[in-house]
């Protein structure tokens, strides 16, 4: 069977009238990853995402319920050493500033206000929310629960997780086999063990009260290998943020 190898690419196009929910005047960004087989109707790994452009006559966007409006942080255009990066190599931002919040939500008989305030710098989960082009900048409307945590510095180790999120410093991969042979970078197994750095205040129960998490900072834990969001610390260490339910065991 003949297959076609495609590297990650971005294509901007107009006039897609066959996509459901998109008008012919919409600007569509298509990102393709992985292998695409010839003569196949359905393409796995095809992502179609279009930002909703808010007309200039609208001067404000007010989120409703437990939603927030985040002004997306601009992607890095240079390396630390000052080298310009091509568009394909620029890191996809996962952070931004809260510029508006909803009125909160009702849980049981209690009204629970949103815990983040305008002006707060936050990180959020990938691939969630609705992108909005507003006031000349890209924004994201998403639920408060999609916010991973508050990060007021440039170092992920300072993250303050929200709700049931946990920040974990990933254990370093083994350099040798049990027999003492050195491993190459490609053969090192990605660890799913790490040390808890910080935890959120816990999820809300049916009465709007916080439920404490079962893990604490300093715990060494085993977590689900395919969960969460990966980050690189300023010191080069690997970190991951995930929900407490993705932590499977505490090791001692």
Place 74 in a pLDDT band, splitting at 50, 70 and 90. confident
Instruction: Provide the pLDDT for residue 178.
Output: 55
Contact, 221 vs 227, CB < 8 A?
no
Least confident span in 40-54, 95-109, 154-168: 40-54
| pLDDT over 70 (residue 42) | no
The pLDDT mean for the chain works out to 75
Buried b (16+ CB within 10 A) or exposed e, 188-199: eeeebebebbbb
Global confidence as pTM: 0.67
**C-alpha–C-alpha distance, residues 214 and 166, integer Å:** 11
233 or 75: which leads in pLDDT: 233
| Distances in whole angstroms, Cα of residue 138 to Cα of each of 27, 48, 102 | 14, 17, 19
Q: How far is CA 209 from the centre of its chain?
A: 26
Tens digit of each residue's pLDDT (9 = 90 or more) over 4-25: 444 443 333 343 333 333 343 4
**C-alpha–C-alpha distance, residues 208 and 174, integer Å:** 43
Strands 9-13 and 220-223: unpaired
Instruction: Provide the pLDDT for residue 164.
Output: 95
Radius of gyration of the chain (CA): 21
Instruction: Take residue 84 and report the two structure tokens written for it.
Output: 């310009």
**C-alpha–C-alpha distance, residues 23 and 18, integer Å:** 9
Q: How far is CA 92 from the centre of its chain?
A: 9
Contact, 50 vs 28, CB < 8 A?
yes
Instruction: Take residue 194 and report the two structure tokens written for it.
Output: 């790490």
Q: What is the mean pLDDT of residues 150-168?
A: 93
Least confident span in 36-40, 51-55, 182-186: 36-40
Instruction: Provide the pLDDT for residue 20.
Output: 38
Task: Tell me the β-bridge partners of 240.
Answer: 168, 230
Neighbours of 202 (CB within 10 A): 16
Which single residue is written with the structure tokens 């053969």? Answer: 187
Tens digit of each residue's pLDDT (9 = 90 or more) over 113-126: 999 999 999 999 87
Contact, 208 vs 226, CB < 8 A?
no
């Amino acid at each position: 069977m003949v297959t076609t190898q495609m590297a990650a690419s971005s294509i901007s196009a107009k006039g897609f009238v066959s996509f459901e929910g998109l008008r012919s005047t919409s600007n569509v960004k298509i990102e393709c990853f992985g292998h695409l087989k010839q003569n196949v109707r359905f393409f796995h790994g095809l992502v179609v995402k279009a930002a909703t452009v808010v007309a200039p006559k609208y001067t404000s966007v007010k989120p409703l319920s437990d939603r927030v409006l985040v002004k997306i942080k601009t992607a890095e255009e240079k390396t630390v050493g000052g080298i310009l990066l091509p568009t394909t190599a620029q890191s996809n931002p996962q952070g931004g500033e809260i510029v508006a919040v909803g009125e909160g939500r009702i849980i049981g008989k209690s009204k629970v206000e949103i815990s983040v305030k305008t002006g707060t710098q936050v990180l959020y989960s990938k691939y969630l929310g609705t992108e909005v082009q507003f006031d000349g900048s890209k924004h994201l409307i998403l639920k408060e629960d999609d916010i991973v945590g508050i990060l007021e510095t440039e170092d992920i180790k300072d993250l303050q997780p929200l709700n049931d999120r946990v920040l974990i410093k990933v254990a370093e991969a083994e350099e040798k086999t049990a027999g003492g042979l050195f491993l190459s970078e490609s053969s090192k197994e990605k660890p799913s063990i790490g040390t808890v750095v910080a935890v959120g205040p816990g999820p809300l129960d049916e009465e709007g009260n916080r439920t404490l998490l079962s893990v604490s900072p300093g715990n060494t834990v085993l977590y689900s290998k395919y969960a969460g969001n990966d980050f690189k610390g300023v010191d080069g260490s690997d970190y991951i943020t995930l929900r407490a339910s993705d932590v499977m065991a505490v090791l001692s």
